[in-house]
Chain A
Amino acid sequence: MLALQSVSKTYTHRGRTVKALDNATLEVQNGDFISVVGPSGSGKSTLLLTLGGMLSPASGRVLVDDQSLYEMSTDKRAELRRKKIGFVFQTFNLVPYLTALENVQVPLLLVGINGHTQQERASSLLTRLGLADRLDHKPSELSVGQQQRVALARMLANDPAVVLADEPTGNLDPDTSGQIIDFLAEVNAEGRTVVMATHDMRAAQRARRILRLVDGAIAPDGKGS
């Protein structure tokens, strides 16, 4: 289970203090699929980064399976991310000089899996995402939709229990967006928890719950809440 308990986070931008999260409290049960919607700058990315152990809050607690994330050491948090959390980004963030296969191998390398198993697993994930004939292509040789599918394969490499997707369809055409959302729904159906920040209301509707973020405060948005 993921939980935010009275989490606040502020930034200072050009002398002005901006509230990214304002006393946010949230519980996400295992296997849930939540969409977080809201205008740009409402704190969606901050919420995901905080949940993923990448951004420590100014106050409040973040729990992952009852463990307080920010009371752990940095290295312990990194270990927890390696084992339990998969990230998907709007800009895919693939390593530009590695092939599709190697990009998917990176998380496997970080957990210490040997080269042969890395290749087998990465290859099988890319095949599942329809990229069997693109294993040796670099990101620059792939379409944006293919790049996002490589990013999805990479996210799944270590079989994470939690998927945090930040605007995963933000740079994609409607057809490709649909395929990506279908895939997120598929991994959710396998029992993984999915938290997705998005502008796209059609994509958001595919989640079980929709949360609206307004000036860092979480407000329920009807569906499932």
Chain B
Amino acid sequence: MKLRTIVWREIFERKNQLATSFLAIFLGITAIVAIRNVTYYSQKAVSRELDALGANILILPKSATLQDYYSADMQEDDFPEEYVERLMFSDLQGLDNMSPRLSSPVEVAGRSFTLTGILPMNEFKAKAAWQGAGIFARPENCGTVVKAPLSPEAAKGSLARKRVIEDLQQDEVLIGNDVAVGANLNEGDKVAMLGQNFTVTAVLPPTGTVDDSRIFGHLHAVQKLTGKGAVVNAIEVVGCCSSINSGLVQKINKLLPEAKVVTITQVVDTQLKTNRMMASLSLIFIAIIALIGGATIANYMYANVFERRREIGTLMAMGAGSRAVLSMFLLKALLLGLIGGLSGYIVGTVLAVAVGPRLANVPVLPMPILLVWALGISIVISLLASFFPARRAARLDPSTALQEN
């Protein structure tokens, strides 16, 4: 027989009394594991979405309010196109690509759409070649341009996802899927806007965003037709992630003090806020489990010590030292934490995998690392809550305990 045999037998003998303590720690751990598991996969989904968006920095007029990333450039205010050159010829590291744009409402076939002027990459390259400097002359990997695809099919996907196009003539447009359907337009068709005829060179694949209602033309053509001059509504920037983390946004802000610079993370703020809320919620649960679970366990342990004082006195009469008595109670706390943590992890994981996809709209898989957390939290709380009751047991006066009837 070992000390743990005594502990184990006692747990089973008085399992009903232990049930409340077990439930407190089990439910707390279940909630923490479920929330952390769903949050992790939700965060991962947001990261994937961010990656799919391509551009991760937006430069907007100071007055702009941001509701939707895709319609960020659809506002009245504008700023000089010269900002693009300022960025190109700056010494900023981490600018992978830029896409200035100017939008204006247009009517085609009696329906309202948005004409968005963009600057094809060949114009950037021409400017860079003239100046012999800027982002196109920077080292590979970080701070170099995204290579725009050359084939027309790839160009469609590229514009839809990466918002980059290699070549676009001033009398050419690419149209979103809703425009093609709504105005009954196909590739090669002619379309008249703002008093000028354009050739539809491509119909873009549907994206499910406002881009489906856009007509993309050459920036300078749109500037000329709207009579706004050399201005843009927005500049999309593909920034190098590490550079963004090391203050690229602040550096752009310094370079363009008259503009508002926002990161894509601010654009998807709602999703991030939900994730942050979930993360905070799990912290709150940790606090609740620490307080309620800890108090329940401590209360149970004090009652257990009181109930067993004759038994403790007898053990001391047989020669059990204070360390043996302390170990007996702490071992019980350890087992309680171990079982509570393990069962909480299993049920929390099952719950997250089953309910997570409905709650967060993402597939959720079990996370073994959470088992370490679950066991760590439950064992530490259980041991801390049991320490003082265990110490009281170890310091019990055996003669008093034995003389009580």
Contact = CB atoms under 8 A, between A and B. Distances in A.
Is this pair of chains taken from one and the same complex?
A: yes
B321 A45 contact: no
B398 A79 contact: no
Contacts of A54: 316-317, 398-399, 402
Contacts of B243: none
Contacts of B369: none
A192 interface: no
Contacts of A93: 310-311, 313-314, 317, 402
B1 A82 contact: no
A110 B320 contact: yes
Contacts of A98: 6, 9
A47 to B, nearest CB: 12
Nearest to A96: B13
Interface in A36-86: 45, 49, 52, 54-55, 74-75, 78-83, 85
A110 B399 contact: no
Given A54-B316, A78-B320, A89 B1 contact: no
A42 to B, nearest CB: 14
Contacts of A75: 321-323
A111 interface: yes
B150 interface: no
Nearest to B5: A102
A52 B314 contact: no
A135 to B, nearest CB: 13
Contact of A82 (B310, B319, B399): B319
Interface residues of B, number: 28
Given A49-B402, A54-B398, A96-B13, A74 B318 contact: no
Interface in B1-36: 1-3, 5-6, 9-10, 12-14
Interface residues of A, number: 33
Contacts of A87: 314, 317-318
A118 B2 CA distance: 10
A97 interface: yes
Contacts of B270: none
A212 interface: no
B291 interface: no
A97 B10 contact: yes
B324 interface: yes
Given A54-B402, A95-B311, A109-B2, A74 B321 contact: yes
Interface in A114-165: 115, 118-119, 154, 158
Given A54-B316, A97-B12, A78 B321 contact: yes
A106 interface: yes
B192 interface: no
Given A45-B403, A115-B2, A79 B317 contact: no
Contacts of A83: 319
B399 A97 contact: no
A118 B5 CA distance: 13
Nearest to A95: B311
Nearest to A155: B318
A115 B3 CA distance: 11
A119 B1 CA distance: 8
Given A96-B13, A98-B6, A98-B9, A49 B319 contact: no
A16 B316 CA distance: 29
Contacts of A79: 319, 321
A107 interface: yes
B367 interface: no
A105 B13 contact: no
Contact of A81 (B1, B318, B322, B402): B318
B109 interface: no
A78 B321 CA distance: 6
Name which of B1, B310, B402 has the most chain A CB atoms within 10 A of its CB.
B1
7 contacts: A45-B403, A55-B399, A78-B316, A95-B6, A98-B6, A110-B315, A110-B318
The 4 A-B residue pairs with the shortest CB-CB distance, nearest first, are: A82-B319, A97-B13, A55-B399, A93-B314
